[in-house]
Structure 1
């Protein structure tokens, strides 16, 4: 069984250790974050501060775009885009990693506190009852301050989240 996490597409390209999990993982990605990959790849703004790292990450972003543009994967994504909140069939990267693309709709439920992508991540995690995976400390702090009822893991805790994680029942007992 795959352990599921809601995540932005760029995070998968940025953090290579996400692609070598100990157990099977399903990365749930809002479609709008895939669109951001094109902007990052084609834009002049650096993704990383270090030029060497920036070149590597942009190459990884390009590879991820090619994966999503594969004809079979593209067909699965297009089918998901036919209705709001529809999930794609799994896009298999290898025997341990799959992606599920969600046609998220920003309902602005959290729009005053969070940007559109953050809002879509939150709503996807809430709708699917799935933890969020992020590297953005400010986002994590805002989630806590706003008391958003979503489980969030820092990217650095990915191995723990995959191997053990915290069950929702455990959170209620805290």
Structure 2
């Protein structure tokens, strides 16, 4: 059974261990985070502090963009973009990784606490009832503080989330 996680596209390019999971994983990516990849690839602003790491991550970003632009993948993504909240068919990358692109729509419901991309990630996780994977501690803290009903894992806990995780029922029970 594949584990599903909502994640930003750039995190897939930034964290290499996400590309070698111990079990099959499906990354659900809001389309707006894919468009950010183009800005990061072309931008003069570094993605990483270390110049060597920055060059490596920008190479990985370019590879991820190429993957999304492959004709079959592009066609699947374009189909998803025809309606709000439509999901693409899975884009397969090897036998353990697939991507599903979601045409997420910013929802002002969380606008006070979160920027538009964060809001799309949160609403996608909530709507699809799947965990959010993030490296942003401050985002995780704000999700908890705002009592947003989504399960969130830190990138550092990725292996735990894939191997064991916490069931939705267990997570909901802890909130009561």
The TM tier, using the shorter chain, reads: over 0.9
Q: Please name the residue that 1:67 is paired with.
A: 67
Where do 1:1-174 residues align within 5 Å?
1-174=1-174
CA–CA distance in structure 2, aligned partners of residues 172 and 73 of structure 1: 35
CA RMSD of aligned residues (A): 0.6
TM norm structure 1: 0.99
Structure 2 SS opposite 1:109: helix
Deviations 1:96-121 (A, max 9, x none): 00000000000211011100000000
After TM superposition, give the deviation of residue 140 of structure 1 in Å.
0.3
Deviations 1:42-101 (A, max 9, x none): 000000000000000000000000000000000000000000000000000110000000
Q: Structure 2: where are the runs of 5+ without partners?
A: none
CA–CA distance in structure 1, aligned partners of residues 102 and 18 of structure 2: 19
After TM superposition, give the deviation of residue 172 of structure 1 in Å.
3.0
Q: Aligned pairs, how many?
A: 174
Structure 2 SS opposite 1:85: coil
| Deviating 4+ runs (over 6 angstroms) | none
